[in-house]
Amino acid sequence: MRVLVLGGTAEARALAVALQSAGVDFVSSLAGRVAHPRMPVGSVRVGGFGGVDGLVRTLRSDGFTHLIDATHPFASTMTAHAMQACARTGLPMTRLARPGWAERPDSDTWTWVPDLDAARVAAQALGSRPFLSSGRQTLPHFARWSERDVLVRVVEPLAEPAPPRWTVVLDRGPYSVGGERDLMRRHRVDVLVTKDSGGGYTSAKLDAAAELDVPVVVVSRPAPPTGLVTTADVAGCVTWLGVRAGG
């Protein structure tokens, strides 16, 4: 058995620990979009594959027998490529898909939208001092807000300067409810924009928004491809592989 883990998430790092503990031969793959990522244990490769053909070549040449897609819930292109590559090579694949936030008791109070442009329209009708917590790659969708006081949080510095009225905070999770509450109060945030990333790693902002009565706009997850096998947690992935945690 040799497993390729498409990673870059907290769940992927936890999976790497579990696989190492179980004595599984695996390699974690990171896209390389973050200059200083948190690295998982074990062997790591960084960079793209060169599309589906490149991933097929890697799976065959490096002797992989299984693929686990533990990328971000919104990395739909990578998931689609992985499914196509596994179909061509005959390798089994599962998607480690952490649960979304739709099951939270307060989720019915949020404004759910299908995409980022809809998020911009919804948010500007709800408040005038938005907190963008949707990732730096989403910021071009909000470029029209150059004359607004916008709070943006990103993991790494922006490639291009932000508009003068924007405040850019460099930070990465996990976050605390108290810290998120203080951040929103300090910048007088009156609407939160995020994506349904799910999990507990960055959910503190939702608790803080509820405490402060700040409206929340959430971009729904893309629909999973037909036929995609999913597991909800690391333990499920270990079970799917048919190995026992701890060796």
CATH number of the domain residue 6 falls in:
3.40.50.720
- Answer yes or no: do 237 and 146 share one domain: no
115 within domain boundaries: yes
**What residues make up the domain containing 154?**
107-219
Are 77 and 49 within 8 A, CB to CB?
A: no
- Answer yes or no: do 119 and 171 share one domain: yes
19 within domain boundaries: yes
- Answer yes or no: do 115 and 81 share one domain: no
Domain of residue 168, CATH code: 3.40.50.2000
Q: What is the 3-state secondary structure (H, E, C) of 185-234?
A: HHCCCCEEEEECCCCCCCCHHHHHHHHHCCCEEEECCCCCCCCCCEECCH
Closest CA to 234 of 9, 81, 1: 9
25 within domain boundaries: yes
- Answer yes or no: do 163 and 64 share one domain: no
- pTM listed for this prediction: 0.89
Q: Which residue is it, tokens 């793959």?
A: 29
102 within domain boundaries: no
**How many DSSP H helices and E strands does the chain contain?**
7, 12
- Answer yes or no: do 64 and 119 share one domain: no
- pLDDT for the residue 246: 56
Per-residue pLDDT of the chain (247 residues; tens, 9 = 90+): 999 999 999 999 999 999 999 999 999 999 887 777 889 999 999 999 999 999 999 999 999 999 999 999 999 999 999 999 999 999 999 999 889 999 999 999 999 999 999 999 999 999 999 999 998 999 999 999 999 999 999 988 998 999 999 999 999 888 999 999 999 999 999 999 999 999 888 899 999 999 999 999 999 999 889 999 999 999 999 999 998 665 5
- Answer yes or no: do 112 and 193 share one domain: yes
- Answer yes or no: do 52 and 129 share one domain: no
- Answer yes or no: do 179 and 228 share one domain: no
- Answer yes or no: do 87 and 159 share one domain: no
Q: Show the tokens assigned to 95.
A: 């998607």
- pLDDT for the residue 244: 67
- Answer yes or no: do 111 and 208 share one domain: yes
How many structural domains are present in the chain?
2
What is d(CA 103, CA 152) in angstroms, rounded to the nearest whole number? 26
213 within domain boundaries: yes
- pLDDT for the residue 177: 97
- Answer yes or no: do 126 and 89 share one domain: no
- Answer yes or no: do 215 and 228 share one domain: no
DSSP H or E run through 19: helix 10-21
- pLDDT for the residue 34: 75
How much of the chain is in helix, strand and coil states, percent to nearest 5? 35, 20, 45
- pLDDT for the residue 128: 97
